[in-house]
Structure 1
């Protein structure tokens, strides 16, 4: 009975919390220093939202808008964290900041989109095509992260199974069989 209580206690202590928040992009401490006031309480965009917004920016640029106008158009329909980053970048571009400096005001999850726009403006390549491939890279990296998390969950599930089922198997099958064999051999 004591062994079962110890096993239950250790499983409860080792088990990950159920309400853990999903991973979001960015380091808020570094972002807070860089953006003047961004801190822990500020919501950060999810990578899937960043990828969707990157596709929408690409479509807005294909339609003929400027980069700041495309950012503002997407910010009107995007989730709040994404919209905030896009508005910051658009405002920085309107104030005359160069593309690389303007994207420094966004969360780090925007790095592929920022790199695509910096390269396209410096090389003269069509930004919409480069942004589409950046959105695909963002989605692929998020899929890899989710697959790794699922793999970790599978490993964490093995621990309680081993802690509970192996002792139960030993107690219900092997111990009685050994007792029967021991009783037969002592007769």
Structure 2
């Protein structure tokens, strides 16, 4: 069990990376103080200790269908099924369950017909899922990318916001205000 604690500087770094995840360590040093080496070393320690990590999500895609899927595998095949599902871009997350089902999947498709294909054809066919139950999300009330630690002052937040990288289309990567019901 990891009993390490985050200190105030750790929280500042994580909060800064929530806002500007692609900033350089030199930019971090300029905005947060200290040196690039200090922030890089701190991040390496947090990652090595399992206290912080990098993950990705599809971001704002416009219209999409999200579902939670409880999946069962044939005895002895769970590892193979997980490997197969990891290669499917429609499967956003995979959690191994201890009771009730073998796996809990978060799946994201462009529309309901695509979700139907995944559930009725691809899970039992190419992924060898023996049984599943699905729960379609009818609304997304909050997106995880909007959560912040609030460890920075207003000036630091403003400086970090200016570093945000626009998407390839030139727009912001975040959903427009009010896009999620």
- Fold conserved between structures, TM > 0.5: no
Task: State the structure with bigger RCO (CA 8 A, min sep 6), 1 or 2.
Answer: 2
State the TM-score, normalized to the length of structure 1.
0.29
Determine which structure has more spread, i.e. the larger CA radius of gyration.
1
